[in-house]
Amino acid sequence: MILLKLIQNELYKIFSLVRSYIGIILFTGIVPLILWGYGMGTSHIEGQIESSVSDMFFIEGSPTNGFTAAYFIMNFFWIHIPFLLALVGGDIFAGEHANGTFRVYATRPISRVSIFTSKVLATMIYTFIFVFYFGLLTLGLGLIWHGGGDMLVFHNGVLILESSDALVRFFIAYFFSFMNMVLVSSIAIFFSTMVRNAVGPVIGTMALIIFILMVSSLPLEVFKGIQPYLFATYFSNWEQAFFDPIPWGDLFRGLGLVASNIVMFLGIALIIFRRKDILS
């Protein structure tokens, strides 16, 4: 019961901050713009698709639709979303330290573990809302704007997904993307427990992600051995939801590594937070 009240408080605080709406406002503006642009360039895209598959298929109707538009947009934003999430996750502890409000909050008869849990869960709820909104906007608006139909995916040839199957694949892709973004928020929370200003955790989170991303994508033999153990290796694993057959083994192996990283970052953050002396 007390945890629910604490989560309610944390959500109230998150949604009272302007920074929490930056990403939502940004997507509300840019996704329709991309969908409009996508529609304007349809004939060019269609021409490219038709020329690459004309010797295999006869295409009736348009190969571009809401599904392909949503897929196109997802490829675009998976590096931008972490930054927007880090703005909120990085502020969750450090922002309160900077304002001095943590001193007021922590004197109440509640355990540090409860405070920590409520902040983590509220951040994850925000992450879910963010990813859900992104999904709703890209897929929902995409389907309204460009219509449904079968979805063409280019992977080891051409894969045609029926619209009902495509929808399920999108839900799977959004789930794995959400888990990756939970990891991003966990990293931001980890940095947030260590410092007393909100800028540091945002920079720290992005620096770590970019660093791991670079190491995980370097085509050098020396890094090949460690790449499967780096979380950034799996940041684009949502794409596998559109493979045929879906490589569930790879997906869950990636998910396991992402989940273990979430546990590790949050575990260390909890230890830091429980031991932390609040001096300001």
Q: Is residue 52 a contact point for other proteins (CB under 8 A)?
A: no
Among 33, 220, 222, 279, binds other proteins (CB under 8 A): 279
Place of tokens 């199957």: 165
| 53 near other proteins, rule: CB under 8 A | no
Site for other proteins contains 100 (CB under 8 A): yes
To other proteins, the closest distance from the beta carbon of 20 in angstroms equals: 11
Residue 12 binds other proteins (CB under 8 A): yes
We find the least distance from the C-beta atom of residue 277 to other proteins, in angstroms, to be 4
Q: Find the distance separating the first CA and the last CA of the chain, reported in whole Å.
A: 30
Is there binding between residue 3 and other proteins (CB under 8 A)?
no
Stretch that binds other proteins, among 8-16, 43-51, 123-131, 224-232 (CB under 8 A): 8-16
Structure tokens at 216: 């995980």
Measured CA to CA in angstroms, residue 81 lies from 22, 121, 134, 159, 178 at distances of 11, 19, 9, 28, 11
Among 28, 52, 75, 101, binds other proteins (CB under 8 A): 101
Does the protein bind other proteins through residue 13 (CB under 8 A)? yes
Q: Check binding of 110 to other proteins (CB under 8 A).
A: yes
Q: Which of 25, 37, 76, 103 binds other proteins (CB under 8 A)?
A: 103
Dihedral sign of CA atoms 238, 244, 245, 250 in order: negative
Q: How far is the CB of 21 from other proteins (least distance, A)?
A: 13
Residue 99 binds other proteins, judged by CB under 8 A: yes
The token pair that represents 120 in the structure block? 């983590």
What lies within 8 Å, CB to CB, of 29 at 6+ separation is none
Cis peptide leading into residue 245 (ω within 30°): yes
Encoded one letter per residue, x for contact with other proteins by CB under 8 A and - for no contact, window 111-150 reads: xx--------------------------------------
85 vs 91: CA distance, rounded Å: 10
Nearer to other proteins, 118 or 236 (CB): 118
Query: Does 104 engage in binding with other proteins (CB under 8 A)?
Result: yes
Q: What is the largest CA-CA distance in the chain?
A: 72
Which residue, chain included where needed, has tokens 């540091």?
A: 200
Q: Is 15 in the site for other proteins (CB under 8 A)?
A: no
- Residue 263 is a binding residue for other proteins (CB under 8 A): no
- Residues of this chain that interact with other proteins (CB under 8 A) are 2, 5-6, 8-9, 12-13, 16-17, 99-101, 103-112, 275, 277-279
